[in-house]
Chain A
């Protein structure tokens, strides 16, 4: 792949740099959704986290981080399912969504700690 795409390393480095910020933002939205006590806030924070997860899911696989991309996609789909369900009208954030995002963030940390 590197032979075909000489600039891929640069894109990969930028992805990792952005992953640090994206990871922090996802964590902030996850905590805010968990702590919020009104439906609108919970849904807004989950939707914001889902949007970031969507971006990671779209590019991670093309850059050699297929497992991370799959994990992001799983989290994203779970959030979408929740937001489209009747449960989204309840003023509580499902624990499983937070656990999923926690596992995803751990995967991010593993990748970011791995020497290039």
Chain B
């Protein structure tokens, strides 16, 4: 991989060069400021960088702002960005993920830790290349049918507070690591997602998932949260401490917003998705893998709520009956 490392400390840049050399198989280019990095990217029209390593705290443009600017460049919209930071303050970490970071590594770092993260990133780069090809292929030939899997997480761009699913997993794992558990997990599932999936081209399905994400994000505006599309019509949200969403109210607000938003498929037919929300699961006092389990519980709860809604709609005459 071609890696661009940005840090105002020349020692860190030299260390990274040595570490990447030791890992082998990658090349690293360095820049000592956000502006210098953007100049490099400006002259890199072919988009040769596969991964970014960015310091958060830098004079002038900090790593969070640089992340936003990199994400604004279309060819780097889904390029993995690892934040290098000594700042374990949750506000900085949340801001980095919200800006588009994929993961973060805490300074001082060890070669083994950096190697593990870069190996993960390498896998991500390969997976993304394959996924991007699928979406682009379907855009040009929509009649060829779906090439996105229903259960596959999809990267959604340019929607506030929406991050990739892998970044969400990393974020949750960092919460465990730093014992910052004042958050809540909850999820939304698009009702009847299988039907949408069966009837739409991959590009239409991708657009539907993106549009619903935007509506949810707009509805939750003003709240501190991060959200990710986990596949199968489900969006997983992690909220900041202090806000425990009331699922029913939030779901009604999202559905009201969806009802007033005009969405269409490629043939001009109106598309009217609605969501079900699952239970909000508090992450306080959870540790280690149980944090991810709590997120899975929230995820499963939303899918169950959507399935129940579909069942009740179809078999409403069974409601309230006893044997």
Contact = CB atoms under 8 A, between A and B. Distances in A.
B14 A14 contact: yes
A59 B111 contact: no
A59 B15 contact: yes
A58 B15 CA distance: 11
Nearest to A58: B107
Contacts, number: 62
B12 interface: yes
A7 B57 contact: no
A4 B15 contact: no
B146 to A, nearest CB: 46
A62 B109 contact: yes
A66 B84 CA distance: 18
A79 interface: no
Nearest to A19: B11
B36 interface: no
A58 B86 contact: yes
A11 interface: yes
A19 B10 CA distance: 12
Nearest to B107: A58
B57 A54 contact: yes
B105 to A, nearest CB: 11
> Is the interface on chain B under 10, 10 to 19, 20 to 34, or 35 or more residues?
20 to 34
A7 B21 contact: yes
B38 to A, nearest CB: 22
Interface string B14-55: 110111011000000000000000000000000000000001
A6 B107 CA distance: 21
B18 A8 contact: yes
A55 B9 CA distance: 6
A66 B14 CA distance: 18
Interface in A5-41: 5, 7-8, 10-11, 14-15, 18
A18 B111 CA distance: 22
B59 interface: yes
A4 B22 contact: yes
B86 A54 contact: yes
A15 B11 contact: yes
A59 B19 contact: no
Given A4-B22, A54-B57, A60 B108 contact: yes
B111 A11 contact: no
A51 interface: yes
A10 B15 CA distance: 10
Given A11-B11, A15-B11, A57 B22 contact: no
A19 B222 CA distance: 44
Interface string B52-66: 000101010000000
A14 B11 contact: yes
Contact of A59 (B9, B21, B57): B9
B315 interface: no
A15 B12 CA distance: 10
A25 to B, nearest CB: 14
Q: Residue among A7, A61, A62 with the most chain B CB within 10 A?
A: A62
Given A14-B11, A51-B59, A73-B86, 10 more contacts: A1-B111, A4-B111, A5-B22, A5-B111, A7-B17, A51-B57, A54-B86, A58-B84, A59-B15, A62-B108
6 contacts: A7-B18, A14-B10, A54-B57, A54-B86, A58-B84, A73-B86
Interface of B: 8-12, 14-15, 17-19, 21-22, 55, 57, 59, 84, 86, 107-111
